[in-house]
Amino acid sequence: MRTPPIAVQRVAVWWTEEGRGARSADVRRGLPDAFPLPGLPDPGPGTPVLLHDVDLREENAYVPQETVRYAALTGVPWCLRLREHGGLLTVARSAPDGWEAFPRRWPRTLFTLRSGEVGRYRANFRFTVGRDAGRLYGDWTLRVGHGAWHTGAPAADVDDRTRLYGG
């Protein structure tokens, strides 16, 4: 498989209030935040974006669960907006559509990539699940590759992580 024109990988780590302790935090710190792209056939016309979602959940002992699909440039999830212009790829974050409490700085442009570059966006979240159901926490790393893919140091790096537990 050749590198897709655009690849977006989300590595999402999820835990509950019960997983807030130091032992669980140590486990989460040891988890990878990037994975190799899976081998897939080239996309069809009009679907230039490879979407690779890697879910690591507390209830599954943080074993990676991967899904892969292709999408149109306008069909990218995770509150990302992509725009190609003049050989560049601009990556922006749009307003969320759920109950997340953090981060609050959107919409805004995250970075612009030249061909051959990879950018990284990191954010964490506190979701209110229900009045009596407690909270769900998430830590995401989104990597966007523009005609390239690697898991090393990115050309652009935006970190929106915040303190999730208050204090």
For residues 141-151, one letter each, b for 16 or more C-beta atoms within 10 angstroms of the residue's C-beta and e for the rest, the string is bbbbbbbebee
CA distance 166 to 80: 27
What's the chain's average pLDDT?
Answer: 86
Q: What does 56-98 look like in DSSP terms, one character per residue?
A: EEGGGTT--EEEEEEE-GGG--TTEEEEEETTEEEEEEPPPSS
Structure-model confidence comparison of residues 150 and 165, the more confident one: 150
Q: Give pLDDT tens digits for 80-105.
A: 999 999 999 999 998 766 555 555 56
Least-confidence region, from 4-13, 21-30, 33-42, 128-137: 128-137
* Closest C-alpha to 160, from 126, 111, 108, 124: 124
Domain ranges, ordered by start, for the chain: 6-159
| 11-27 pLDDT per residue, tens | 999 988 888 777 888 89
pLDDT of residue 24: 85
pLDDT at site 131: 61
Nearest to 28 by CA among 142, 101, 124: 124
pLDDT score, position 107: 78
Query: Between 22 and 52, whose confidence is greater?
Result: 52
- The whole-model pTM stands at 0.88
Residue 47: pLDDT above 60? yes
